[in-house]
Amino acid sequence: MTDNPIPTPDAPTVVPADESPTTESHRRGPAFKPTHPVALAPVGSPPHSVDGFVREFLHELNTTQGVALSRSSVNDQYLALATTVRNYLMARWLETGRKTHEAQAKTIGYLSAEYLLGRQLGNALLATQLNDIAEKGLAACGLDLATLRSQEVEPGLGNGGLGRLAACFIDSLATMNVPCIGYGIRYEYGIFRQTFVDGRQVEQPDTWLSLGSPWEFPHPESAVQVDFAGHTETYDDHGVTRSRWIPEWNVLGVPYNYMVPGYLNGRVNTLRLWSAQATKAFDLQIFNAGDYASAVRAQTFAENISKVLYPEDSTPQGKELRLQQQYFFVACSLRDFINELDPDFDLHKLPERIIYQLNDTHPVIAVPELMRILVDEKKWEWDEAWEVTKQCFAYTCHTLLPEALEVWPVSLLGRLLPRHLEIIYRINDEFLAEVREAFPGDELRARRMSIIAEYPERGVRMAYLATIAGTKVNGVAALHSQLLRDKVLPDFSEMWPDKFTNVTNGITPRRFIRMANPKLSELVTDAIGSGWVTDLERLQELEPYADDEDFREGFRKAKAWNKERLANLLVQRDGISLPPGHLVDVMVKRLHEYKRQSLKIMHVISLYEQVLSGKITASDITPRTVVFGAKAAPGYKMAKDTIYLINAVAKTVNADPRLEGRLTVAFPANYNVTLAEKLIPAADLSEQISLAGMEASGTGNMKFALNGALTIGTDDGANVEIRELVGDENFFLFGMREPEVAALAASGYNPGSLYANNPQLKATIDLIASGVFSSDPHAFDGIVGNLLHQDRFMVFADFDSYMAEQAEVERAYADEDRWTRSAILNVARCGFFSSDRAMRDYLKRIWHTGPLL
Ligand code: NBG
């Protein structure tokens, strides 16, 4: 628990009142009235022409990078290009800030510990419509746009779906003209860089900042102080007994602003990520005492808070540093918004100005923090403060896995945030009184609903706190929201049925179709015009084109082009060859047992086994390449073993001439947003094969369908809605449904007997255990033993159904026209999955605000 111990008593303890930067340094606006006409005019943009672009680019190269074109490195050129494109967005950004401030409009404060942004340059070029100009301008300077684009290291400040969703949402809000500030953490190291050594995952630090970061604007003058630890005391405040927190140490949060450009609409919102820095008090005392080494250590200690993204996805580790991160960024974010309000603003009206969306439980400590500000600092009555606080938050749950619901040990929370723990206790007391009043005599219910869990140790259930405080609680797909109400929070949904709602996730069409799939975009735009980019439901107009032979031909050509582009990339990036003419079957997502990559690799192994044993011949197999992309949490043994198994199978299968090259496995390392943008458009088949009831939504599933891949999937998460929309005949459904899963679990699931009674399943598992895939005979004991004796995610139970549906896939793929028709209908019918629609749903059902026009 104590991976970042609180400083011992020789660490600084004094927090001088004048610690924050001088008021003078962050005063806004000029001291005197400007008179120069340029200073009075609106901020201008560089001319939208090749000439204007070249001038701006060379100016940046010469004056910001400080190099001549003739001596510039590719990195110089990339940085100058990024800055140039940024300059074209600047006038919009400054104008957006001015307009939002003037309108005093309600803002969405999106609180998220993760933003998986992907590369910025392509998106900025798209938003400014500068692609062609940049290409020509750079060519005239002897440079190649594509080369410079590939120089960008993506900010991997998230683990997977949750962080990518946040990035899609802020893109949509900007495009829809809705005021939003995304708040998060500027991790110095994002999600680790994955490499494979002898087939095993090895993690390397993600040094995304090391070559410069042209997209960020630090504002050290607006740094915010964040306190930790210490104790609380009561005092007499003119006859009223109040509490106050005497913290033990503190750090500074320095904001870094990033542009979030809307698509062709003139709006640029802000993403504000906080970086931790030592306060002066932290080291001054020790410096004065002449202990240089301790002073530097103190500094390192403070900066640790934003040092690294925790690489666990959906399974938090409950580490102290993690709680520090969570409190750090929400404390900064609340303080920041309040600081920006007019000094005479009446905080009772705060809900008219902001709604904080809690992206999972990670930022939930914001609830007691706002209470602390109102009750302790502003000296409000408790009830008055709670009334306002309740209206300022809404909560999105992103999981159903019990181990993913955060519970902070009371001992830890009380040590790090003693005043917040007191506030949580009081919220709980008042809430439980409400429960007892609503359900008299039902003490068991009160105990079940308590924010404080008693076992296995006393802990604070953050999801309960969020549910009690939030105006609304939502799940991320229809099935997930239903299970959230019925299984995770049934007592709460009984008490407050209206609090619960669903918003099915979505993805941004700008990045994942328009940018990632230029050929399909062109084809679609030629057919139905370009309106679909901001109004994705218009893809419906493509339906009749499914029966148009020319369109189908164009569609296939686009897919073939995407496959070739992927093949070129994989050779260059990983030395992997993608055989032409293959069905491209893709499973990309975090490695997790519930997602069942093991089932996918068992499909490959089963086919291989059937060839080895002579049940079929290679020519019976539809030529297929199975592509995996997945990172495993560094401490997740089973997930790492699965990566090793996939790599081992790939090595064996790809080299076996008996398969005649008709079945290959590709596993490029370090799957990230940049790779996704090339992989997804090239896919024919999308694998969404989690055990029903486990995947909250999935968003990769939406990206594949919208890029014309067909889905093989279980009735889980948003798959359910995809299938409803595209129609059964255009979706490969297999496996148990959620109620069957629940029933099987209740009746006692026995994977061992399935193994014993299913010859092909047995042959598949036996081949893994036989040692053909690894020189280490025990390499897969863990995986095999786990499946045989436990199989928590019921891989064996769905094995037959999955194999049968894969055979159905092969039959369908053999009929080119039928397949293309289905793929086009997937695109035409999935417009619902735009994150623009998701944002409209949040605006209507949760945030109760709208665009600022
Ligand atoms: C993930 C779910 C996905 C879902 C994303 C975005 C967490 C805790 N949850 O199914 O596993 O698509 O959130 O909602 O990362």
pTM value > 0.75: yes
Question: What's at 544, amino acid-wise?
Answer: P
Please name the residue whose Cα sits nearest to atom 3 of ligand 1.
698
Give the span between the Cα atoms of 478 and 502, in whole angstroms. Answer: 6
With tokens 């419906």, the residue in question is: 540
Using one digit for the tens of pLDDT, what is the confidence trace for 522-563?
Answer: 999 999 999 999 999 999 999 999 999 999 999 999 999 999
The response to whether residue 831 sits with its C-beta less than 6 Å from ligand 1 reads no
Give the span between the Cα atoms of 88 and 60, in whole angstroms. Answer: 12
DSSP state of 250: E
Q: Are 397 and 697 in contact (CB under 8 A)?
A: no
- Is 651 considered catalytic here? no
Q: What local confidence, expressed as pLDDT, does residue 284 receive? A: 59
Paired sense of beta strands 732-733 and 710-713, if any: parallel
Bridge-partner residues for 189, per DSSP? 308
Question: What's at 183, amino acid-wise?
Answer: Y
**pLDDT of 685 higher than 50:** yes
Paired sense of beta strands 216-218 and 249-261, if any: antiparallel
Please name the residue whose Cα sits nearest to atom 6 of ligand 1.
162
Q: What own/partner pairs with CB < 8 Å and gap ≥ 24 does 337-341 have? A: 337/107, 337/109, 337/181, 338/373, 339/222, 339/224
Q: Are 713 and 732 in contact (CB under 8 A)?
A: yes
Q: Which of 786, 688, 802 is nearest to 736 (CA)?
A: 802
Structure tokens at 533: 């980019």
Q: Are 131 and 179 in contact (CB under 8 A)?
A: no
**pLDDT of 451 higher than 80:** yes
DSSP state of 369: H
The response to whether residue 700 sits with its C-beta less than 6 Å from ligand 1 reads no
DSSP state of 110: E
Using one digit for the tens of pLDDT, what is the confidence trace for 117-169?
Answer: 999 999 999 999 999 999 999 999 999 999 999 999 999 999 999 999 999 99
- Is 398 considered catalytic here? yes
Pocket test for ligand 1, best of 399, 481, 508, 512 (most atoms within 8 A of CB): 399
The response to whether residue 165 sits with its C-beta less than 6 Å from ligand 1 reads yes
Give the span between the Cα atoms of 15 and 282, in whole angstroms. Answer: 8
- Is 699 considered catalytic here? yes
The CA angle 594-165-840, to the nearest 5 degrees, is 125
Half-sphere exposure of 814 (CA within 13 A, CB side): 9
CA of 400 from ligand 1 middle (Å) equals 9
With tokens 């799957």, the residue in question is: 671
When computed from its CA atoms, the radius of gyration of the chain, rounded to whole angstroms, is: 28
Cβ contacts of residue 414 below 8 Å, gap of 6+?
A: 421
DSSP state of 763: H
Q: Are 583 and 563 in contact (CB under 8 A)?
A: no
pLDDT band at 317 (very low <50, low <70, confident <90, very high): confident
- For the chain, give the percent of residues with pLDDT over 70: 96
Q: Are 803 and 509 in contact (CB under 8 A)?
A: no
Please name the residue whose Cα sits nearest to atom 12 of ligand 1.
698
pLDDT band at 4 (very low <50, low <70, confident <90, very high): very low
The response to whether residue 698 sits with its C-beta less than 6 Å from ligand 1 reads yes
What's the rounded mean pLDDT across residues 268-289? 81
Q: What local confidence, expressed as pLDDT, does residue 10 receive? A: 40
Q: Which ligand 1 atom is at minimum distance from the Cα of 480?
A: 10
Q: What local confidence, expressed as pLDDT, does residue 297 receive? A: 79
How large is the greatest C-alpha to C-alpha distance in the chain, in angstroms?
A: 90
Q: Are 157 and 113 in contact (CB under 8 A)?
A: no
Please name the residue whose Cα sits nearest to atom 9 of ligand 1.
398
Catalytic residue among 499, 511, 662, 703: 703
The CA angle 549-554-557, to the nearest 5 degrees, is 125
Q: Are 165 and 834 in contact (CB under 8 A)?
A: no
What's the rounded mean pLDDT across residues 488-499? 98
Q: What local confidence, expressed as pLDDT, does residue 279 receive? A: 86
The CA angle 314-318-321, to the nearest 5 degrees, is 115
Strand, coil or helix: 311: coil
The response to whether residue 684 sits with its C-beta less than 6 Å from ligand 1 reads no
Using one digit for the tens of pLDDT, what is the confidence trace for 768-803?
Answer: 999 999 988 899 999 999 999 999 999 999 999 999
Q: What local confidence, expressed as pLDDT, does residue 286 receive? A: 62
φ, ψ (nearest 5 deg) of residue 612? -60, -40
pLDDT band at 2 (very low <50, low <70, confident <90, very high): very low
CA of 113 from ligand 1 middle (Å) equals 13
Q: How far is CA 818 from CA 539, 552, 730, 833, in A?
A: 19, 10, 10, 24
Cβ contacts of residue 210 below 8 Å, gap of 6+?
A: none
**pLDDT of 481 higher than 60:** yes
Catalytic residue among 353, 559, 590, 603: 590
Pocket test for ligand 1, best of 400, 462, 476, 592 (most atoms within 8 A of CB): 476
The response to whether residue 162 sits with its C-beta less than 6 Å from ligand 1 reads yes
Q: What local confidence, expressed as pLDDT, does residue 6 receive? A: 41
Paired sense of beta strands 156-157 and 193-197, if any: unpaired
DSSP string for 220-241: GGG-EEEEE--EEEEEEETTEE
pLDDT band at 7 (very low <50, low <70, confident <90, very high): very low
- Is 703 considered catalytic here? yes
CA of 497 from ligand 1 middle (Å) equals 23
- Is 849 considered catalytic here? no
Give the span between the Cα atoms of 805 and 807, in whole angstroms. Answer: 5
CA of 245 from ligand 1 middle (Å) equals 36
CA of 502 from ligand 1 middle (Å) equals 14
Q: Are 386 and 371 in contact (CB under 8 A)?
A: yes
Element (H, E) at 282: helix 280-288
Catalytic residue among 272, 372, 398, 480: 398
Q: Are 761 and 767 in contact (CB under 8 A)?
A: no
Give the span between the Cα atoms of 230 and 247, in whole angstroms. Answer: 4
Give the span between the Cα atoms of 326 and 322, in whole angstroms. Answer: 6
**pLDDT of 313 higher than 90:** no
CA of 697 from ligand 1 middle (Å) equals 6
22: left (phi over 0), alpha (psi -120 to 50) or beta: beta
Catalytic residue among 267, 514, 582, 589: 589
**pLDDT of 414 higher than 50:** yes
Please name the residue whose Cα sits nearest to atom 13 of ligand 1.
162
Q: Which ligand 1 atom is at minimum distance from the Cα of 404?
A: 8
Q: What local confidence, expressed as pLDDT, does residue 283 receive? A: 57
Question: What's at 729, amino acid-wise?
Answer: E
Q: Are 59 and 52 in contact (CB under 8 A)?
A: no
Give the span between the Cα atoms of 470 and 111, in whole angstroms. Answer: 13
Q: How far is CA 176 from CA 119, 122, 180, 748, 849, in A?
A: 21, 20, 11, 50, 12
Q: Which of 653, 655, 668 is nearest to 572 (CA)?
A: 668
CA of 811 from ligand 1 middle (Å) equals 33
Question: What's at 731, amino acid-wise?
Answer: F
Paired sense of beta strands 231-237 and 710-713, if any: unpaired
Using one digit for the tens of pLDDT, what is the confidence trace for 65-96?
Answer: 999 999 999 999 999 999 999 999 999 999 99
CA of 696 from ligand 1 middle (Å) equals 6
Average pLDDT, the chain: 95
- Is 829 considered catalytic here? no
The response to whether residue 262 sits with its C-beta less than 6 Å from ligand 1 reads no
Strand, coil or helix: 309: coil
The response to whether residue 505 sits with its C-beta less than 6 Å from ligand 1 reads yes
Structure tokens at 780: 């897969």
Q: Which of 481, 468, 479 is nearest to 361 (CA)?
A: 468
What's the rounded mean pLDDT across residues 595-617? 98
